[in-house]
Amino acid sequence: MSNETLEALPLSVNLAIPDKTRSRLKTFETAFDMVKDYTITDADTAAAVASEMNAYLRSIDELEVLRKKHIAPGLQVIQNAKDLFDPAINGLIAAKDFCKNLLSGWDVKERARVALENSKREETARKLRQIAEATAAAERARADQEAAEKRRKAEEAAAAGNAARAAKLQEEARAAVETGAARAQDAILQAAASAAAAPPIVQEKVAGSQMRDKWVFVFAPGVTDLGQAKAMIVEAIGKGRTDLLGVLELNEPAIRKMAEGLHEAMRVPGFVAVNRPIVAGSRK
């Protein structure tokens, strides 16, 4: 809003109220100061206080009528503005909410799709790892078997006095173990490379829209209404779930009605009914 627009706005409104009425209003502003030191010592002073209270009641009624009379034009201006702008604003809100719901529904489906795709990829990667581990174990077992056979022949050569052949066979046994370990490692690396070639899918962001998580509560499976849910909460509190005490809303109007109807017989844990009389004045 520009400064020119701000300067054009009215800063005050002068009400067409007679000076006599304005003077009475100023007097009424200090009405409490006039009575705050009153005390009642006998029936006559009580009657005088009651008479003054009733005069205040009549003045309140009179001022309420005047106030409504002067507020009515302003309220009509407000209503006219609402009638002018509200349909357009409501139309925009409906369109915005519809688009928002479309985006929210799409986001939920897209998250589910991405999660499913990533789950499939993870399952594929897991199977590749299992195959690689099995292949690696087979390569190591085959190498160990070949090495064991080389060592056996090396022992026979050594026993026959052929030291050179025994040494060569021992070296071939060590080479077989190393070759088996290398092949096993290569199988595992190939599986890791295959998994890396299919990285997790990331949900694509929509320009002009920013989705964020918003968790809400709904009825649990098997629960059909609020009363059933409250009964389950009360039962849980009785079993020690004191953290749920804040979930139960205190129904003050219901307790108030019980106090009005049952008086001293009201039985609500944590409350008692007490009688606090009020004065009913007369405007006549």
Q: Are 175 and 150 in contact (CB under 8 A)?
A: no
66 lies in the same domain as 24: yes
pLDDT, residue 104, reads 85
pLDDT, residue 73, reads 84
pLDDT, residue 210, reads 66
pLDDT in tens, 238-284: 888 887 877 777 778 888 898 899 998 888 778 888 888 776 666 66
Please report whether residue 159 resides in a domain: yes
Q: Which of 88-97, 202-211, 221-230, 272-281 has the highest mean pLDDT?
A: 88-97
List the beta bridge partners of residue 268. 271
∠ CA(138), CA(144), CA(148), 5° rounding?
A: 145
145 lies in the same domain as 81: no
Please report whether residue 182 resides in a domain: yes
91 lies in the same domain as 130: no
43 lies in the same domain as 93: yes
Please report whether residue 78 resides in a domain: yes
∠ CA(228), CA(232), CA(237), 5° rounding?
A: 145
pLDDT, residue 281, reads 65
Question: Residues with Cβ < 8 Å from 128, sequence gap 6 or more?
Answer: 191, 194, 195
25 lies in the same domain as 56: yes
- Above 70 in pLDDT, residue 42? yes
pLDDT band at 11 (very low <50, low <70, confident <90, very high): very low
If one counts the domains in the chain, the total is 3
* Alpha-carbon dihedral 190, 196, 197, 200, rounded to 10 degrees: 150
62 lies in the same domain as 94: yes
pLDDT, residue 6, reads 40
> Which amino acid, residue 104?
S
Please report whether residue 213 resides in a domain: no
188 lies in the same domain as 130: yes
Mean of per-residue pLDDT scores for the chain: 84
- Above 50 in pLDDT, residue 44? yes
Q: Is the pTM of this model over 0.75?
A: no
Q: How far apart are CA 266 and CA 272, in angstroms?
A: 7
- Above 60 in pLDDT, residue 178? yes
pLDDT band at 141 (very low <50, low <70, confident <90, very high): very high
Rg of the chain over CA atoms, in angstroms? 45
Find the domain containing 248 and state its range: 226-265
Please report whether residue 109 resides in a domain: no
pLDDT, residue 93, reads 95
DSSP letter for 201, please. Answer: P
164 lies in the same domain as 234: no
61 lies in the same domain as 127: no
Main-chain dihedrals φ then ψ at residue 85, nearest 5 degrees: -95, -30
- Above 90 in pLDDT, residue 215? no
Please report whether residue 176 resides in a domain: yes
In order of 64, 140, 181, the CA distances from 133 in angstroms are 89, 10, 12
Q: Are 103 and 211 in contact (CB under 8 A)?
A: yes
- Using DSSP's 3-state secondary structure scheme, residue 128 falls into helix
Please report whether residue 174 resides in a domain: yes
138 lies in the same domain as 96: no
- Above 50 in pLDDT, residue 22? yes
59 lies in the same domain as 26: yes
- What average pLDDT does range 162-168 have in this prediction? 89
Q: Are 169 and 150 in contact (CB under 8 A)?
A: yes
82 lies in the same domain as 153: no
Burial of 165 (C-beta count, 10 Å sphere; 0-12/13-18/19+): middle
- What average pLDDT does range 11-37 have in this prediction? 81
Please report whether residue 186 resides in a domain: yes
